[in-house]
Amino acid sequence: MSTNEPTGAPLAPNQDPKAQEKPRKTRKIKTTKDVNGVPQEIEIEVEDVDGPRWGERKDLKVLNTELRRVDGPVKVTGRARYTHDVRLPGMVYARLLCCPYPSAEVTIDVQDALKLPGVEAAIVLETKTRFLGQPIAVVAGRTSDHADDALRALKVTYKPLPWAVDRAQALAEGAPNVRKNGNKGKPGQNGDRAEAEAAIAAAPAKLEATYSVPVQHHASLETHGVVIDYRGGEEATVYISTQWTFAAVGQVAELLGLKANQVTAIVEHMGGGFGSKFDLGSEGAVACRVAKELKKPVHLMLRRPDEFVMAGNRSGNRVTYKAGMNADGTLAGLVANAEKFGGLGDGSMARPPYVYSAGKTYSEVVAVYTNTDSNRAMRAPGHPQASFGMEAVLDELAYQLGLDLLEVRKANLKDKVWHRQLERVAKEIGWFEHPHRTKPGPNSGGKELGIGFGISTWGGGGSGGTECDVQLAKDGSVTVSVGTQDLGTGSRTLVTAIVAEEFGLQLGDVVARIGNSRLPSATGSGGSTTTGSLSPAVKDAAWNARNAFAEHLAPILKTEAALVRFAGGKVFSQANPNAAMTWKQACATLRDAGLNAHGKWDKDRAAALMGNGVHGAQAAKVEVDTLTGRVRVLEMVGIQDCGLPINRTAVRSQLNGGMVQSLSYALFEERVIDPVLGLALNANFEDYKLAGPSEIPKMTSIIDDDDQRSATIGMAEPAIVPGHSAIANAVHNACGARVRDLPLTPDKVLAALGRIA
């Protein structure tokens, strides 16, 4: 999942299911059927397929239904083991010391720390830092208290150096160089500025405004970290909170001086990543260093303050738009000058005008560097940043012309799928009865209601590299094995559901083995590609196992393999449905070793199972207290397409989660660093405000079942894209307060209303 600037928003195709599915082919085969005890030859039509298919939705029994998570019981009872929970004999606990200044020269004396009882290591990591929170030392103790004592015993002398932690400092005359070539990257340009400016000048409605979004933290409940089990031998195991089981194997091997086949990575459960956990990380590298020195297992999980300053973030941005709108609501032209704030990184932003058509357009996007931790991919990287300004521009111009906000969006969207989705969320949230459809409500000094909209897109496809095994045992047990990780999004349930569907079983009849690098390979979970990469491989393995089992059972059932059917926990011939065996009876005919089948993501086969390109739309209803500036979100409605939903409950859960995260981004979340002192002021869950139960409104999540594509497509990324934009637009709609920089705090709302300066 790249944190670089996307070349443009992926445009999802119109959803014509016939465009992706091959025509259904059939063939006729001859077989025998018992009629009153007399065998008669008959001819039966069967589907002629050259590979696995999902089948007709009406025929599915497990897929596209409401499924409970198979790992739910172990999580709610506390039996699920996360990396933080790993305890090993002889293990030491490691702690990092992070630099409290954005740039400094550092001198560290570790001798007093090493003299303390229970302290086993104290190592200097850096003597000159480039970003606030950079790790400068590590200590290790037999208990976590010993490690904390060692941190306090370190003698550290800091010599602060000039720094730049925000845009103003980075672009000021005489600013210190954050990167060797300065504090600005090379601009990315697209379009013809002169043509766009001319189109804007000729339009009846014009706007020039600047919009910004702050740096947002991933706020994963489980912090980054690892447990390295290495005792000086020829093998090691790394327990790691990661979005890619296999990524750490080679890195750990290199750091410990081992071969890749001597290292095992384990991810039993993990508490969220949202794009921030794709490799070993600096904390993992340090843990390997300590383990190699001590020849003991090392437990190193980041403390929450360290997580905030050194584990990545969603980059902020600032965009100045010039735009013009025609009388019919279509955009005549748009010029966007954008700056991305990714710390030491390049930041991320989808190119304006995002998913809308905007006539003549020109955009220029440039990175501004600061002495803060580099941004990392975060759920739909670059898209929420691009959404905020574009959705606001549409509303502000529509109000100038007195046009319906819903109709203006449709006028600038070529893909009719968004038209349908916008109309659906508008109906659900009460837009057509709303009094402020073409102009904002009054600044009354009381409480006003407003509604706002936003749309999203994403690719959601898959890629090669995932393989899978399906094993059928003589006792009837079924196991599906793949090394993929489960971020908490339901991968275990997904793989068991696909196999259960293939054999006509219940979800509980299949056991999933995942999260171990000794299992078949799998890609990382990022960019909503997990479903698109994992589902075809699992389906392929299940299909291969089904065919092999059918071949085995055909002579027993006295039929053709093509006529063997698996349904309702039974096995039978299509020619003689009444002569059925139970699943366990059928499995009992296997040899002692059972039956094993392998599957993989194959480009040609996956094409029939996996789609690409999704659409989404969201609406928000808010109440604005125009006396206090307080914003309360009353309702959010979201609709999302994703081809064939594997688990409808999980799809809605992702959509709900995306709306909650975007609500939190809209109202509360913002990294705050004092530019003079260089201090992180809210690097904890008390001061870095997140939406809690009291802020979460009525939520309606809708699966777009008009999308009849027979394909599985990831949809977690776009679920987070438009919600904050819809909320900001709803505030404007309620009372005329256009807040152009998030979060929507009361002081900003009051300033926009003209009640405070």
Tell me the per-residue pLDDT of 656-676, one tens digit each, with 9 for 90 and over.
Answer: 999 999 999 999 999 999 999
Which has the higher per-residue pLDDT, 49 or 750? Answer: 750
Going 652 to 656 to 661 to 662, the CA torsion angle's sign is positive
The per-residue pLDDT of the chain, averaged, comes to 94
Q: What is the pLDDT of residue 75?
A: 96
Q: What is the pLDDT of residue 12?
A: 43
Q: How many alpha carbons lie under 13 Å from residue 385 in its C-beta half-sphere?
A: 35
Neighbour order of strands in the sheet with 188-191: 188-191, 360-368, 331-341, 316-325, 205-213
Query: Do the strands 360-368 and 331-341 form a parallel or antiparallel pair, or are they unpaired?
Result: parallel
Closest CA to 604 of 464, 481, 501, 709: 464
Contacts 24+ apart (CB under 8 A), 168-177: 168/675, 169/370, 169/675, 170/368, 170/369, 170/370, 171/368, 176/103
Structural contact between residues 277 and 270, judged by C-beta atoms closer than 8 angstroms: yes
Q: What is the pLDDT of residue 757?
A: 82
Residue 642 pLDDT more than 70? yes
Q: What is the pLDDT of residue 18?
A: 41
Residue 5 pLDDT more than 50? no
Q: What is the pLDDT of residue 98?
A: 98
Residue 410 pairs in a beta bridge with none
Hey, where are the domains in the chain? 51-76+462-482+504-607, 83-162+224-301, 193-203+313-460+612-752
Q: What is the pLDDT of residue 21?
A: 47
| Residues whose CB falls within 8 Å of the CB of residue 502, separated by 6 or more in sequence, listed in order | 539, 542, 543, 545, 546, 566
| Residues whose CB falls within 8 Å of the CB of residue 614, separated by 6 or more in sequence, listed in order | 12, 457, 458, 459, 460, 640, 641, 642, 643, 713, 714, 715, 718
Q: What is the pLDDT of residue 205?
A: 98
Q: Reduce the DSSP state of residue 521 to 3 states and report it.
A: coil
**Fold entry, domain 51-76+462-482+504-607:** Aldehyde Oxidoreductase; domain 4 (3.30.365)
What pLDDT digit, counting tens, does each position of 10-40 carry? 444 444 444 444 555 666 655 555 555 555 5
Residues 212-219 have a mean pLDDT of 98
What pLDDT digit, counting tens, does each position of 476-509 carry? 999 999 999 999 999 999 999 999 999 999 999 9
Three-class secondary structure assignment of 392-455: HHHHHHHHHHCCCHHHHHHHCCCCHHHHHHHHHHHHHHCHHHCCCCCCCCCCCCCEEEEEEEEE
* pLDDT cut 90: percent of the chain above it: 92
**Fold entry, domain 193-203+313-460+612-752:** Aldehyde Oxidoreductase; domain 4 (3.30.365)
User: What global pTM score does this model have?
Assistant: 0.94
Task: Compute the distance between CA of residue 752 and CA of residue 736 in angstroms, rounded to an integer.
Answer: 8
What pLDDT digit, counting tens, does each position of 32-61 carry? 555 555 555 666 665 656 789 999 999 999
- What are the C-alpha distances in Å from 451 to residues 100, 406, 440, 599, 664? 43, 10, 10, 48, 17
Cite the DSSP H helix spans in 301-365: 304-310
Residue 230 pLDDT more than 80? yes
What class has domain 83-162+224-301? alpha beta
Residues 345-349 have a mean pLDDT of 98
At 6, is the pLDDT very low, low, confident or very high (cuts 50, 70, 90)?
A: very low
What pLDDT digit, counting tens, does each position of 349-404 carry? 999 999 999 999 999 999 999 999 999 999 999 999 999 999 999 999 999 999 99
Residue 254 pLDDT more than 50? yes
What pLDDT digit, counting tens, does each position of 103-161 carry? 999 999 999 999 999 999 999 999 999 999 999 999 999 999 999 999 999 999 999 99
Q: What is the pLDDT of residue 48?
A: 55
Residue 519 pLDDT more than 50? yes
Q: What is the pLDDT of residue 10?
A: 43
Domains 51-76+462-482+504-607 and 193-203+313-460+612-752 are alike in CATH topology:
yes
